[in-house]
Structure 1
Amino acid sequence: MKRVLILIVTSGFVTGAMAQTGATTLTMTCAAARGIVASRGAVVLRTGPTTYDRYVRDSSFCALPETAQPAWVKTADAAQCPIGSVCRSMEIDNGR
């Protein structure tokens, strides 16, 4: 059991390190960034040296209490690239 736990913990650190070394939207064209989201459906992209988010093609990639809301990021060729959407919690309006 300890071996499995160590493997899971170790792979978590590797995954985090790999995410930090990936390309950022700042080095991509708007078309390339949009293409990644469209082709994969959901992807985590870095938007700066210490910032990232999960971008989705549509609401089908969000959890049930969430909805897709449009998102824009800075890319190499656009200050505001409409990359796709981000999943956010739906707020229920009680008329208050």
Structure 2
Amino acid sequence: MSARLRILSMTLATVLAATGLAEARPDSRSISCAGIQAMIQSHRAVVLTTGPNTYDRYVRQFGNECDWPEVPMSAYIPARDGHCPVYRCEEPVNNFPN
């Protein structure tokens, strides 16, 4: 096998592997809410697809899965059986009067 063909084969394999990994992200719309919550609890944080072109990272309510100054904030995502309450890392909003 020539060096050029070997490089082309390795490049193609890398592209296919990267494409396969992107498709491996769980889709919240195909999982029950209980399943989503169990997955987050057992893995501490999970990246889920939530729509045709959307995804995000969801975390446990308690723990240190967020980078400072972010904290777990409540959110709802689509699940197979409706909307599911979850947490994602966001910066807290300070609503203190001046």
Q: Is the pair's TM-score, using the shorter chain for normalization, greater than 0.5? A: yes
Q: Are residues 1:32 and 2:38 paired?
A: no
Question: Residues 47-58 of structure 1 correspond to what in structure 2 (within 5 A)?
Answer: 47-58=50-61
The ranges of structure 1 where at least 4 consecutive aligned residues each deviate by more than 6 angstroms after the TM superposition are none
Please identify the structure whose Cα radius of gyration is greater.
2
Deviation at 1:94, TM superposition (A): 5.4
State how many pairs are aligned: 83
Q: Could you tell me whether the CA contact under 8 Å between 2:29 and 2:78 is conserved in 1?
A: yes
What is the CA-CA distance between 1:91 and the residue it aligns to? 3.2
* Match of residue 61, structure 1, among 65, 73, 90: 65
Write the letter of the residue equivalent to 1:27. S
Unpaired segments of 5 or more residues in structure 2?
1-13
CA distance in 2, matches of 1:87, 1:39: 17
- 2:76 equivalent among 72, 77, 94: 72
Shift of 1:95: 2.7
- Across the aligned residues of Structure 1 and Structure 2, the Cα RMSD in angstroms comes to 2.4
The one-letter code matched in structure 1 to 2:51 is: G
Identity, in percent, stands at 33
